[in-house]
Structure 1
């Protein structure tokens, strides 16, 4: 086994001969039926693997492959990729730049439900309504 792994590293041809090669099963959101047939993998089984990876639709996948180990490898389309911390920080920087550009032209809006906010009542110690009102429900 060690000899075959060594030969796979040194000779590219043997790398695909012994363990096999990666097979593309989804391209641009469409399943590759020919490759699925070669792998004897049904659409239902592919969908099961996608669901286990947290993907709800085949159309959300840009490319998906079945690796040599049998694992599913995939890349989501750009509009379906999750938000990264870097993306979030970029958006926050753009929002702060827009706030600076707008300046004092827009007045900040307070919470319209501030009067009905029970936390605001406690912090201000000003209670609404009749003091005997809570007791009428007991």
Structure 2
């Protein structure tokens, strides 16, 4: 059984997809980029975009009954591998203690000209 999740506090999807899907207690988020939910505008610069990505992910996970502390796997996509250290530094602000497994790859382009996109698999918090 699966349940689709749309998060009212996250930016609208830029394509034909939902913010997340829950299946068997796991939450699979769609990739989030640094869009400001209220305006739909992209934050400027890798640091601001990365922080916004995490705000958006937090909103999606909250709507799904989870949070970043319950993340088990992340996938990070950056358009310039030279930004790896900056993204890593900010990533470490949001994931402390038992960090999730992670992949990070450089890609040619991201939607809307974003510099970073991150998706998360998390477990649902117990009620």
TM-score between the two structures when normalised by the length of structure 1: 0.23
Q: TM-score, normalised by structure 2?
A: 0.24
Q: Which structure shows the higher strand fraction? A: 2
